[in-house]
Amino acid sequence: MDYGDPARGALTHLPTLTPAPMNPTAEPRLHHVQCLHGRGLHRMAWWEWGDPANDRVLVCVHGLTRQGRDFDTLARALMPHYRVVCPDVVGRGHSDWLDDPMGYGVPTYVADMVTLLARLQARTVHWVGTSMGGLIGMGVAALRGSPIRRLVLNDVGPVIEPAFLARLGTYLGVPVTWPDEQAAAEAMRALAVGFGPHTPEQWLALTRPQLRPTDDGRALRPHYDPGIAVPVRAATPQMAAFGQAAMWAAYDAIACPTLLIRGRDSDLLSERTAEEMTQRGPKASLVQFDGVGHAPTLVADDQVAAVSRFLLQSDAAPRSGPAAAAHPPDAA
């Protein structure tokens, strides 16, 4: 699969697609699924776009402090082709919070997604994962018999750069409130300069689902459980090294076609790691976007086009080798 010059983020030698008309007023349906954790059950919320009877299923999973409505623009663009499912990972959005914050981690999230896929009765799926959602996608795609047939990793890989972790530590789980939406949007914009340029309307649309009223109703707070910061802050260098090795092992086990998206100014995914990901495992195709860091929001037209073209093209040829037995040709 040739995407032209990755250094320019070019999208050449791709099949010409006739884009379906986007319905700007379309809204998703909210559902919940019961999932198992170490101390009992929790409910995970998921947003559904498009025809629920469509057997072409696209799962879009958000980043660490985000929620499923981050994908509204991409979902509206792809709902004519897919049943689009965007979960709120546990501890975020409309999902339950865990009693034990040490449960917030990729193994829990992967198990929850397997439960969701069973609920969807999806024989095969395509997957878009931003940051943490990409790590979850890698975990699911690496499983023998995984239903994932195409995988998009948005600005994430097995190696998380120290600069990102240092920046994350300045705000993750820190108590904060805002008097109104506009104040919240401005504060979040300052923290998310890596998201790249957005119109005021686009930024408010990304901000609103991030907010919840405080208990007294007088202010707004972040939507997520502050406890998601606990395992991040508890991580030791040894734990980080083990996690990195485990994620490389998962990446190397992936057999499906994979697209890696990178913001050229990303402080999470280094150019070196991205290049290595094109040389091993599924040998991802790499597209980079100028003027963006961590992470592309998949709102800009060129970002939506990159994802859409990759997902909607047909496989040129079936893969061969031992891993192919666990991943039969794309039936989605």
The predicted pLDDT at position 253 comes to 98
Q: Residue 123 carries which DSSP code?
A: S
Q: What angle do CA 194, 286, 294 make, to 5 degrees?
A: 10
Percent of the chain with pLDDT over 70: 87
What 3-state class would DSSP assign to 11?
coil
Cβ atoms of 220 and 181 within 8 Å: the answer is yes
Q: What is the mean pLDDT of residues 295-299?
A: 98
Backbone angles phi, psi at 304, to 5 degrees: -60, -40
Q: What span, in angstroms and rounded, lies between the C-alpha atoms of 60 and 54?
A: 16
Confidence at 26, pLDDT banded by 50, 70, 90: confident
Instruction: Please classify residue 293 by burial: count the beta carbons closer than 10 Å to its beta carbon, then call 0-12 exposed, 13-18 middle and 19+ buried.
Output: buried
Helix (H) or strand (E) holding 246: helix 237-253
Structural domains of the chain sorted by starting position, each given as residue range(s) with its CATH number in brackets: 6-12+26-315 (3.40.50.1820)
pLDDT, tens digit, for every residue of 167-219?
999 999 999 999 999 999 999 999 999 999 999 999 999 999 999 999 999 99
Q: Are strands 125-130 and 148-154 parallel, antiparallel or unpaired?
A: parallel
Q: What is the pTM of this model?
A: 0.88
Residue 23: per-residue pLDDT: 64
Name the least confident of 44-48, 203-207, 221-225, 313-317: 313-317
Q: Give the residue carrying structure tokens 């040709």.
A: 329
